[in-house]
Structure 1
Amino acid sequence: MVRKTKQEALETREKILDAAETLFQRRGVSRTSLQDIATEAQLTRGAIYWHFKDKAEMFNAMMERAKMPLEQARDAARLARPDAPLEHLRWSLLNALHSTVHNERTRRAFEIAMHRVEYVDELLAVRDRHLANRNHGLDVIEDGFKDAVAAGQLPKTLNTRTAAVTLLAMADGLIQNWILDPTSFDLMEVGQEAMEAFLNSLHATERKLLPPLKPEELACLGSAPLCRFGKPDEE
């Protein structure tokens, strides 16, 4: 009997999250009330509060539910290729793109997080979670780059933090733009090409293709007329 009660509670929790996901995508997070979610799920507000203390906790639970398959895939890749950190990094990021395209729940969660949430009032806690996840993601990616350096796949001079920030921004940007208009480009094809080009380009950090900018050249940024190759425009 206890086991049945626990199962029913889990089913109710999933029903609430399904309703929240639907309404958050349709209306936005800030414009959706707990009463709206209760009505959508055909439950009482009491049932909502039994599972979640507020909307922020519910939002975080919804995001955790969508994120879990990506984390499992990432861990599986690490176990399968412990001696190939770059390949593991590529596989993990491509899996995130694949889930965005083919997993409806993941796609909805990404769309809500990127385009349907405002960090105001009770949703400030959502912003804190977003930042915590972003920072954790950066740490994970940077660890992958550090492993690649240690394995001799990348030069020792590589700034692993900068590489991690760039790669995460690239993946986030691709997903955000694709969600805005899925017909504009093939996320898997463009994503794979872009990420592989970036990862392969990191070998160039050992031999700089461009000289570093001088202070006087940086000072030209935003000026009018603009400097051209470090020299003022000639009349």
Structure 2
Amino acid sequence: MPELFRADALRHVFPDGTAAIDNVSLSIAEGEFLIIAGRNGAGKSLLMRHFIGLSKPSSGAVFYRGQPVPAQIPLIRREVGYVFQDTEAQIFGQTVEEDLAFGPANLGMQGQDLEDAVQHALKEAHLEGMENRRPNTLSGGEKRRLAIAGVLAMSPRCVILDEPFANLDFPSVQEILAVLEVLRAEGKTLIVLTHEIEKVFALATRLVILDKGHIVFDAPPGEAQQSDFGSSGLVCPYQECYPWLMTH
């Protein structure tokens, strides 16, 4: 598959000298379902900020479709949707429908094309029938799906989700996973930043673990060992990690 993102020897050093991202080289192909995992503070969100042009490297370089990210910002804005952990910051409309129309309208979409984009996003995020609801009346899981739908309304090729399961109950987690399964089936590139890998482990095609700004694991999820999770502060997703739960 064509390469979508690439980081070459990327470093981000804070003013106090701390290297939050330290010599990271990473290539992401179009169509991958990638988990970028790590404990809080491992550098997951900061790495993605570099990928979409919101942060400037201290050294190294980041590329989108083979060109340096700074030269690709307009294309990235059209093709890459980012669902931030703080979904409240991504909700702008007075109603669900108005909120979903905000992004594509800013891209110049109008008329029937805009209506079709909104309806498609409602369906993909399982929000049908909520068009006239006010966002502040939605549950936490519904707000998360609204933020995802707002991204989907702009027809991105790639969707990045930052801690999509944070503070959600089990039914809401299931709803988010159902949306991700639909997007995976459509062939979209999915990048999920999370420390709760057990929730999405079975869906992903690749697992990257960050620890203190370094990549410490990069392979298909099933190749990870128990020690890879424990040493990086992650919950082991394998049943054999919990022998007292296993049935015979």
User: TM-score, length-normalised on structure 2?
Assistant: 0.26
Q: Flag the structure with higher strand content.
A: 2
Higher relative contact order (CA 8 A, sep 6+): 2
The structure with more helix, counted as a fraction of residues: 1
TM-score between the two structures when normalised by the length of structure 1 = 0.27
